[in-house]
Copies of this chain bind each other. A is one copy, B any other.
Amino acid sequence: MIEFWYDFASTYSYLAAFAIEAKAEAAGLRVVWRPFLLGPLFAAQGWTDSPFNLYPAKGAYMWHDMARECARLDLPWQPPSVFPRRSQEAARVALAVPPDRIAPFSKAVFAAAFAQDQDIADQSVLAALLENLGLPAAAVLARAASPDIKQLLRTQTEQARALGLFGAPSFMRGGELFWGNERIDLATLQPGR
């Protein structure tokens, strides 16, 4: 089992979302998809915006690096016209879909955000993604807005903080934390315990 922790606004989480299944399968691992919100973790350390916006040199490099990585990995890439996108709504919906659909739904959200420059906080965008997967959009969106799901996302974000997460994507494997898409091979390949 490997836990994949991601935020839908996170550029490098997009890369990980489209790589984790094949790498986990090759290692005989089941992937547990864990959406959470980076915002509260960033806010707790005094950041009110993405570090890529707060620190311009780091941001300029990230945009260049993402284009380079997407070209290398043969993934479509369209830099979002608004960054970071609000990811709370999409994360709630991901927690509201049937558990066996969270992977395809999450990949669809990432593609909408980073290959099609769509506003993934928009209910009609989320509804279209659900419908494309044959899911009952109105019912899922209603469930996503319920107190239970809101609480589940808060709990999951608090759990991320408690596990020592500070960025996304992150992976938990055998009780050990791996941060960054650059650690995806190590996280999937290291011997289990």
Contact = CB atoms under 8 A, between A and B. Distances in A.
A178 B69 CA distance: 11
Interface of A: 41, 45, 54-55, 57-58, 60-61, 64-65, 68, 72, 161, 164-167, 176-180, 182-183, 186
22 contacts: A45-B54, A45-B55, A45-B57, A55-B166, A57-B161, A57-B164, A57-B166, A58-B166, A58-B167, A60-B164, A61-B164, A61-B166, A61-B179, A64-B176, A64-B177, A65-B178, A65-B179, A65-B183, A68-B176, A180-B182, A182-B182, A182-B183
A25 to B, nearest CB: 23
A165 B57 contact: yes
Contacts of A180: 182
A91 B80 CA distance: 40
A61 B177 contact: yes
Contacts of A164: 57, 60-61
Contacts of A57: 41, 45, 161, 164-166
A23 to B, nearest CB: 16
